[in-house]
Amino acid sequence: MPIPTLSQSLVITLIQCLLVVIFVFVVVPLTVFAERKVLGYLQQRLGSTRVASGHIGITGWMNRGMWKMGRVPVLSYWRGIPGLVADVLKLILKEDILPAKADKFVFFIAPALSMVAAVVVFAAVSFVPGTFFTLPSWFPYVGGLPVSGGIADINVGLLWILGIASVGVYGIVLAGWASNSKYPLLGGLRSAAQMVSYEVPLALSLLAPVVLSASLNFGEMSARMATGLPAWALAPQILGFLLYLTCGFAETNRLPFDMPEAENELVAGFHTEYSGMKFGFFYLAEYINMTVVAALASGFFLGGPWLLPFGLQGLVNPYLPAFLSWFGEPHAIFFVVKIIFILFTYIWVRGTIPRYRYDQVMSVAWKYLIPMTLFNLLLAAAVRCFAV
Examine residue 265 and tell whether it contacts another protein (CB under 8 A). Answer: yes
Window contacting another protein (CB under 8 A); options: 142-150, 281-289, 301-309, 355-363 = 355-363
Examine residue 367 and tell whether it contacts another protein (CB under 8 A). Answer: no
Smallest gap from Cβ 71 to another protein, in A, equals 17
What part of residues 106-165 is at the interface with another protein (CB under 8 A)?
Answer: none
Examine residue 96 and tell whether it contacts another protein (CB under 8 A). Answer: no
| Closest listed residue to residue 35, CA positions, set 361, 286, 303, 334 | 286
Nearer to another protein, 159 or 185 (CB): 185
Q: Which of 356, 369, 370, 373 binds another protein (CB under 8 A)?
A: 356
What part of residues 266-285 is at the interface with another protein (CB under 8 A)?
Answer: 266-267
Site string for another protein, 9-48 (x = CB under 8 A): ------------------------------x--xxxx---
Examine residue 287 and tell whether it contacts another protein (CB under 8 A). Answer: no
Residue 123 half-sphere exposure toward CB, CA atoms < 13 A: 20
What's the CA gap between 114 and 175, in Å, rounded?
9
What's the CA gap between 341 and 241, in Å, rounded?
14
Other CB atoms within 10 Å distance of the CB of residue 4: 16
Nearer to another protein, 266 or 307 (CB): 266
# residues near another protein by CB under 8 A = 29
Examine residue 309 and tell whether it contacts another protein (CB under 8 A). Answer: no
The 8 Å CB, 24+ separation contacts for 203-207 are 203/162, 204/370, 204/373, 204/374, 204/376, 204/377, 205/240, 205/243, 205/244, 205/247, 205/373, 205/376, 206/158, 206/162, 206/244, 206/296, 206/300, 207/373, 207/377, 207/380
Question: Is 194 within 8 Å of 179 (Cβ atoms)?
Answer: no
Question: Is 233 within 8 Å of 301 (Cβ atoms)?
Answer: yes
Examine residue 70 and tell whether it contacts another protein (CB under 8 A). Answer: no
Window contacting another protein (CB under 8 A); options: 1-9, 170-178, 293-301, 349-357 = 349-357
In angstroms and rounded to an integer, the radius of gyration of the C-alpha atoms of the chain is: 22
Nearer to another protein, 210 or 262 (CB): 262
Smallest gap from Cβ 115 to another protein, in A, equals 26
CA dihedral 361, 367, 368, 370 (to 10 degrees): 100
Smallest gap from Cβ 359 to another protein, in A, equals 6
Window contacting another protein (CB under 8 A); options: 27-35, 150-158, 256-264, 378-386 = 256-264
What part of residues 160-199 is at the interface with another protein (CB under 8 A)?
Answer: 182-183, 186, 190
The 8 Å CB, 24+ separation contacts for 138-144 are 141/8, 141/11, 142/4, 142/8, 142/11, 142/12, 142/15, 144/2
Examine residue 351 and tell whether it contacts another protein (CB under 8 A). Answer: yes
Question: Is 264 within 8 Å of 354 (Cβ atoms)?
Answer: no
Smallest gap from Cβ 103 to another protein, in A, equals 18
Q: Which residues bind another protein (CB under 8 A)?
A: 39, 42-45, 182-183, 186, 190, 255-256, 258, 262-267, 350-360
